[in-house]
Amino acid sequence: MKVFENDLVYNYPASHTLNLLHRKYPNPFATHVYSVDTMERSIDPETGILRSERLIGVQQGAPKWVTKLFHLPPIAYVREVVFIDPSGTSATSMSVNLNLAQYISCLEHITYTPRPDNTTLFRQRAMLVSGFPTKLIARKIEQASYDRFKSNAGIGKQGFDWVLAGN
């Protein structure tokens, strides 16, 4: 198992950041994101919390020989569920890959919270676990997935900054 952790700050108030969460894609930096479909959106009548569930299609980042060897599809899908507090001060996002789980499972948890300096703290945790029967190969799959996830996290920051700036 590999755990990816990433804390960073968006230089915008939480209200602005949370208002644009659902507009994060498309952006010119996230070229690996193929599609984003909202599956369900609802408001809890008691708490007022907005819940959105989306299906995100992403292009595979695996080397060509890996995609051919394991007959991987060109697009993988991720289920994302986002909860936004009605006060506009915090949000939680959880996501999991829907296919390729026989090779690697990625469970991601993200929180957005306000900071005293009127910026937004982004805290990301992802657990990458391979169920491949051979431990050596499982570790290699986990490491390759970790490296790819880390690269995409940097791209995600650039892309969301672009969205937050009003582009």
pLDDT tens, residue by residue, 17-30? 999 999 999 899 99
* Length of the chain as a residue count: 167
What is the predicted pLDDT for the residue at 81?
99
CA Rg, the chain, in Å? 17
Q: 36: which 2 tokens? A: 């984003």
What is the predicted pLDDT for the residue at 116?
97
Q: How many angstroms separate the Cα of 10 from the Cα of each of 7, 25, 101, 163?
A: 10, 17, 32, 11
Cβ-contact 51, 81 below 8 angstroms:
yes
Question: Measured between alpha carbons, how far is 105 from 115 in angstroms, rounded to an integer?
Answer: 32
117: which residues sit within 8 A by CB, 6+ positions away?
none
pTM of the model: 0.92
Question: Measured between alpha carbons, how far is 60 from 97 in angstroms, rounded to an integer?
Answer: 12
Q: 132: which 2 tokens? A: 């491949």
What is the predicted pLDDT for the residue at 96?
98
* pLDDT values of the chain reduced to their tens digit, one per residue, 167 residues: 999 999 999 999 999 999 999 999 989 999 989 999 999 999 999 999 999 999 999 987 776 776 777 788 889 999 999 999 988 789 999 999 998 888 899 999 999 999 999 999 999 999 999 998 999 989 988 998 899 899 889 999 999 999 999 98
Q: What is the arrangement of strands in the sheet containing 50-59, beginning at the earlier edge strand?
A: 2-10, 120-129, 105-114, 91-97, 75-84, 50-59, 33-43
Strands 33-43 and 105-114: unpaired
Cβ-contact 61, 75 below 8 angstroms:
no
Backbone φ, ψ for residue 158 (5° rounding): -60, -45
All domains of the chain, ordered by start, with CATH?
Answer: 2-164 (3.30.530.20)
What is the predicted pLDDT for the residue at 112?
98
